[in-house]
Amino acid sequence: MLTFFKAAYENLAQTGSLVESSSRLAARMTRIVNFNRPVHIVELGAGTGSITRHLLGQMKTGSRLTAFEINRQLFYKLSSLQQPQLVPVNDDVCRLQQYVCNASVDYVISGLPLANLALQTKEHILGAVRSVLKPGGFYIQFQYSLNDRPLLRRMFPLVQLGFEPINIPPAFIYYARK
């Protein structure tokens, strides 16, 4: 918690929040994930791993979780999870396609602060997300407002909305299907 707060104090635009997501938000984001089979999940903006831990706890043998985190201190904490299924990546998600093959991912789960990114950057990231997802795969993103709902609707054929009040601050969740 202190590590994340310190990162937020130094660069709030990059972290997008002062504290990590609640376990309730992690649970609501991942409720559509089918954990009964091996899956390849990519996490964008994993922070210290509040959603990562939730995913790892349910993933079957043969599954893989590739988790991107740009901040070095947060990445260090994330890497300490040391689970065989976890592949932590200390890089900008703008380079997603350098690490992940097209049409190879079942779910992309994201805590990226979309509202703080330039439109061009968002379009680039969402385009890359669409490319790496398998047909029928899901992009699941939380946001504290509905700012980017029109953008997601433009880039994905189907977008459903969820809401989790038990989080600081309460958050909307987009479930976008490729």
Ligand X SMILES: C[S@@+](CC[C@H](N)C(=O)[O-])C[C@H]1O[C@@H](n2cnc3c(N)ncnc32)[C@H](O)[C@@H]1O
Instruction: Tell me the per-residue interface mask from 83 to 102 with ligand X, x by CB under 6 A, - otherwise.
Output: ---------xx---------
Can you give the length of the chain in residues?
Answer: 178
Toward ligand X, which CB reaches closer, 70 or 159? 70
**Count of residues of this chain found to bind ligand X when the rule CB under 6 A is applied:** 21
The span from the CA of 24 to the CA of 42, in Å, is 20
Which residue is nearest to ligand X, using beta carbons?
Answer: 45
Burial 77-92 (b: 16+ CB within 10 A, else e): bbeebeeebbebbeee
* Binder of ligand X out of 39, 55, 56, 112 (CB under 6 A): 112
Q: How far is the CB of 93 from ligand X (least distance, A)?
A: 4
Angle of helix 72-79 relative to helix 2-10, nearest 10 degrees, comes to 160
The span from the CA of 26 to the CA of 55, in Å, is 8
Q: Verify binding: residue 59, ligand X, rule CB under 6 A.
A: no
Binding site for ligand X (CB under 6 A): 14-17, 20-21, 45-47, 50-51, 68-71, 74, 92-93, 111-113
